[in-house]
């Protein structure tokens, strides 16, 4: 494989020295870019974009053509695993993801297969290897998956949910069934992420989008325990270098110390945490990724630059920081504002290194 021309993202995740703080954005290949919307129209729909490796590669590369980003992230969806388990994923305009089949009983869960990453999700592995070739060492490629708890919520609810009523009822009424579902999902995610690493992903992130909706005790038992299990089963070295792992629990600021003990290299933070305080709490254990509020990108470039400067100052001197938004970039953002954000990170962060 081609040597990396820019490896500051990987170095920062491993708390190694860098010249400037690396930056990428969650959902950086997405609806805020007119070129993405054109590609999606050409593909026909969202899943056709995901399942065609050349389209997935095209949209992964689009933000890199616009901005000096320090990483690319695979274009895919977190719900590919439940889809491969036979749940029948589809997208409804204005409604988001839906499943044709839902999981509601122990028998439903017992019948679920554990997907074969190469056979059942081969289109994702093909996308990873296609993107790696196209990147040609320009920046590292991030692979990803949803966390078991987050995937379980969609499988039990049949789609997104405001209150997770059915999922939480199962958690408390049928904990044995929920643990079986989460265990199957943890096995699936481990094999899926390892498949991505073997195909060329140079770092991986687990998105625990809905873990922060649990109580403290339930989070430890039903979300973090399964992410810990995945981390312990991941390939951590490939192509002669370490493969860093990032855990991101939205609204997980209360549990940073526990998440830092889960064995990952870095923690993603949402915007509700102060990054300097988070750094004090986790010490030298892990790198930190984050954590500007995505809605700051609606503001004028001067305000965006001021917020970037504030977050960098809060983190302070030294390495181990990957700059990102505290969640995904939203579709209504002006692409020029995203550019101002990325340039500001590189411009203002040099003073904190070296």
Q: Is 289 annotated as a binding residue?
A: no
Question: Angle formed by the axes of helices 275-282 and 301-315, to 10°?
Answer: 20
Q: Of these residues, 7, 8, 11, 27, which one is catalytic?
A: 27
Give 19's contacts (C-beta < 8 A, 6+ positions apart): 8, 350, 353, 354
| Terminal Cα-to-Cα distance of the chain (whole angstroms) | 30
Q: Is 11 a catalytic residue?
A: no
User: Annotated catalytic, 270?
Assistant: no
Question: Among the options 7, 8, 67, 77, which is catalytic?
Answer: 77
The answer to the question of whether 253 is labelled as a binding residue is no
Q: Which of 36, 67, 154, 315 is catalytic?
A: 154
Distant-in-sequence, close-in-space partners of 215: CB < 8 Å, separation ≥ 6: none
Task: Write the CA distances from 342 to 42, 72, 74, 166, 333, integer angstroms.
Answer: 28, 14, 19, 40, 14
Distance CA 276, CA 248 (A): 17
CA 188/CA 277 separation, integer angstroms: 35
Q: One of 31, 37, 138, 343 is an active-site residue; which one?
A: 31
Tell me whether residue 327 is annotated as binding: yes
Q: Is 90 a catalytic residue?
A: no
98 is in an annotated binding site: no
Q: Is 154 a catalytic residue?
A: yes
Q: Which one of the listed residues 40, 66, 281, 343 is annotated catalytic?
A: 40
Query: CA 149 to CA 3: how far, in whole Å?
Result: 36
Establish whether 187 is an annotated binding residue: no
Cβ 242 vs Cβ 236: under 8 Å: yes
What is the rounded CA–CA span in Å between residue 216 and residue 255? 8
Q: Is 37 annotated as a binding residue?
A: no
Burial (Cβ within 10 Å: 0-12, 13-18, ≥19) of residue 180: middle
132 is in an annotated binding site: no
CA–CA separation, 77 and 79 (whole Å): 5
Partners of residue 245 on adjacent β-strands: 204
State the Cα–Cα distance between residues 94 and 163, nearest whole angstrom: 19
State how beta strands 141-146 and 72-73 pair.
parallel
Active site residue 126: no
Q: Report the binding-site residues.
A: 27-31, 77, 154, 209, 327
Q: Report the binding-site residues for substrate.
A: 27-31, 77, 154, 209, 327
* Residue numbers annotated as active site: 27, 31, 40, 77, 154
């Amino acid at each position: 494989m081609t040597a990396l021309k820019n490896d500051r993202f990987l170095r920062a995740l491993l708390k190694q020295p860098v010249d400037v703080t690396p930056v990428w954005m969650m959902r950086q290949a997405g609806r805020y870019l007119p070129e993405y919307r054109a590609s999606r129209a050409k593909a026909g729909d969202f899943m056709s974009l995901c399942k065609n490796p050349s389209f997935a590669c095209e949209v992964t590369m689009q933000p890199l053509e616009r901005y000096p980003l320090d990483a690319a992230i695979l274009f895919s969806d977190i719900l590919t695993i439940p889809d491969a388990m036979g749940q029948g994923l589809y997208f409804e305009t204005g409604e988001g993801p839906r499943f044709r089949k839902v999981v509601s009983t122990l028998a439903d869960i017992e019948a679920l297969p554990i997907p074969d990453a190469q056979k059942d999700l081969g289109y994702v592995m093909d996308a990873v290897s296609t993107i790696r070739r196209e990147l040609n060492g320009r920046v590292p490629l991030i692979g990803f998956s949803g966390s078991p708890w987050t995937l379980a919520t969609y499988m039990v609810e049949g789609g997104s949910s405001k209150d997770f009523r059915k999922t939480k009822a199962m958690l408390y009424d049928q904990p044995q069934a929920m643990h079986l579902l989460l265990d199957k999902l943890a096995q699936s995610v481990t094999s899926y992420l390892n498949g991505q690493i073997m195909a060329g992903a140079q770092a991986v992130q687990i998105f625990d989008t809905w873990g922060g909706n649990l109580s403290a005790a339930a989070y430890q038992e039903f979300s973090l325990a399964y992410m810990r299990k995945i981390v312990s089963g991941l390939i951590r070295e490939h192509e002669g270098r370490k493969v860093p792992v990032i855990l991101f629990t939205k609204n997980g600021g209360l549990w940073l110390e526990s998440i830092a003990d889960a064995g990952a290299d870095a923690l993603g933070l949402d915007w509700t945490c102060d990054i300097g305080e988070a750094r004090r709490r986790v010490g030298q254990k892990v790198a930190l990724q984050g954590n500007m509020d995505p809605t700051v990108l609606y503001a004028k470039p001067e305000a965006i630059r001021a917020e970037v400067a504030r977050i960098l100052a809060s983190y302070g001197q030294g390495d181990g920081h990957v700059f990102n938004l505290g969640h995904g970039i939203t579709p209504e953002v002006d692409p020029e504002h995203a550019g101002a954000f990325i340039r500001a990170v590189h411009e203002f962060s040099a003073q904190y290194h070296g």
